Structure 1
Amino acid sequence: MIHTNIQGRRKTCGLTQEQVAERLGVSRQTVTKWETGESTPDLANAAALADVLDVSLDALVSYDAQGTELPLPPRGKHLFGTVTVGERGQVVIPKQARDLFGIEAGDVLLVLGDEGQGLAMVKADEFMDHVSSLLDQVKGRGGHHDGGGCKA
């Protein structure tokens, strides 16, 4: 699995085997062997490789694209799988996502939408904390507001 992740992420990053090898201080042949599965990088090289390819070490080692046809996501991005929308619009958030983002039964989520980008969900209380912080900053500047990023 790691060999396909190395090759796929390298190509997604637009890097050649030579460029990866140079950044890691190994030979191009070593990178070729990693990508073909003939050998596996040691822990130090795997960690350095994850940095070069901007992925987590865990994802580099264990990401399995089988059935998804999606490439290895960059560091900080996650693919939790698919969910089925029920008749009344309900979805079950995968356990791994709930654990990672600390979502528990009874939490209130705010659903945001962008017709070009899709849907997003955030914890409503954390969102409101950010809004309050922004309002405090605006008030601290004498009420000056730049139009929310619009050109003046």
Structure 2
Amino acid sequence: MTLGERIALARKKAGLSQEQLGDRLGVSRQAVSKWESSQANPDVAYVAELCRICGVSCDWLLLGEEGAREAPPARCGSCGAIVTGLDRYCPQCGHPLLKEEADTYSLVLVDPRKNLTAAFDALAWLSRRPWCAPEFPICRRSQEELEALLFRAPVSLMWGLSAQRASEALAAFRTPGMAAVYRDSDGSSAEELVQKPQVPPQSLPSPQPSRTPMSFGATVGAVIVGVIAAILILSFL
């Protein structure tokens, strides 16, 4: 059985039409049709969600392992949502599914009501960081989704961060008490984390200052100054 045939079988077992499956995945019916006819393969980004929707395992869908489809789908230990082997965190509640390293940290939005405008600015700034991983809710770039996070507090914005990244992320929230850093090695939810002691900001390394790249004019000027300096040095040799 090919990958396309397994996709078609999983869809039919879930009682969905090609159009319904496409709507849930955010793709066209034609895209689903091409997957099932083996004219194209789904991107990895769609595979985990497809498995969740249809209630099958990634092993069966991708590899065709016998008996895997009949096995009950894996579920998040925190909220019970269906998860797959491609998920590092639960897409429903953000609970970590893989064992984290001992010294990792979570950034939790605790009380944005102290200054909603400043909180939104901090969320928008964090979402543009090049190290912001795609599984973090903060990485949603639409204004509506960022604003929605403000009213879900307490909510974990980032997790599995190094001490340096946690310090940099916390520094984005200039109003004290708006956000906090906690150790996340035990995989606690945001509600559980806020009941535990916060990691004091002074115990984290100082955040790295953001560097603004030189403009074109400044770069040209620096090159000219360097050339003149080199000529002057050579003239004295």
Instruction: Tell whether the structures are fold-level matches, with TM greater than 0.5.
Output: no
TM-score by length of 1: 0.43
TM-score by length of 2: 0.28
- Bigger radius of gyration: 2
